[in-house]
Amino acid sequence: MSAQLSPPQQIPEPPATAWRGVVADWSSDRQAFHVSWAKAMMWIFLLSDTFVFSCFLTGYMTVRMATPAQWPNPSEVFALQIGGADIPLILIAIMTFVLITSSGTMAMAVNFAYRRDRRRTAWLMFATAAFGIMFVGMQAFEWTKLIVEEGVRPWGNPMGAAQFGSTFFMITGFHGLHVSAGVIYLLVVAIRVLRGRYEHSGNYQIVEIAGLYWHFVDLVWVFIFALFYLW
């Protein structure tokens, strides 16, 4: 009878060697879920930001339905007088159009980035940032009109429910802060792309990651527009 050979036993690695392997894995930018760590972290950040905006909008709807005071009519509050006639929500419609258009230019920038066309990528990102600046400028005009002409404050509102001012400035201000940060982010990445920062590596994924952030900001505005200005 031939003796059966027992399978070779694996000798466990010493703890120090195992920890060095863990450190090497993390420091070498290994990919998880078939995406880079940079893109994965951006998705995690956007998920956490989704929770924040959801809490803000849910709180706004709760306050609006619970307050006994009359809520101001958005069509009257956000109307602009043009040619002697009050046009409701005209400024908000332009702001929404500008922001949605910026999503189109950002998507085109990502497309040209993966074609390795750095000049068109950079200029489309500059155009996207310009749309963002236009949006923030119109939002500043909207705030100025409400504060100076209408007398709206975070703690009071002469047109109805006092909570109107606090919820409006909190939600639109937080979103405007995201747009401003996104403009800076896009400008930095666009300048680096134009200077050929990513030309040698050929990795233009940073443009896609910036696009994820910008599309998220645009999507949040759609919910703000529907729940705050149309409701």
Domain membership flag for residue 1:
no
Question: Cβ neighbours of residue 49 under 8 Å, at least 6 residues apart?
Answer: 178, 216
pTM of this structure: 0.83
Domain with 50 in it: 34-229
Q: How far apart are CA 74 and CA 92, in angstroms?
A: 10
Give a yes or no: residue 4 inside a domain.
no
Helix axes 163-194, 118-144, angle to 10 degrees: 160
Greater model confidence, 173 or 34: 173
CB 123 within 8 A of CB 93: no
- Residue 28: inside a domain: no
Domain contains 11: no
Give the C-alpha separation, 56 to 65, whole Å: 14
Which phi and psi (to 5°) does residue 136 adopt?
Answer: -65, -35
Nearest Cα neighbor of 201 from 213, 209, 192 is 192
**Nearest residue to 231 via CA among 51, 93, 72:** 72
Residue 204 in contact with residue 119, Cβ under 8 Å?
no
Q: Calculate mean pLDDT across residues 147-170.
A: 88
- 8 A C-beta contact, residue 71 and residue 161: yes
Write the CATH number for 70: 1.20.120.80
The three-class DSSP label of residue 186 is helix
Residue 48 falls inside a structural domain:
yes
Whether 214 is in a domain gets the answer yes
pLDDT in tens, 187-224: 999 999 998 888 776 678 999 999 999 999 999 999 99
pLDDT of residue 215: 97
> Does residue 129 form part of some domain?
yes
Q: DSSP assignment of 145-171, as one string?
A: IIIIIS--BTTB-TTS-THHHHHHHHH
Report the number of distinct structural domains present in the chain: 1
- Domain-embedded: residue 124: yes
The tokens 């956000």 sit on which residue?
A: 78
Q: What is the pLDDT of residues 61-94, one digit of tens each?
A: 999 999 888 888 888 888 888 887 888 999 999 9
Name the residue among 92, 78, 60 with its Cα closest to residue 161. Answer: 60
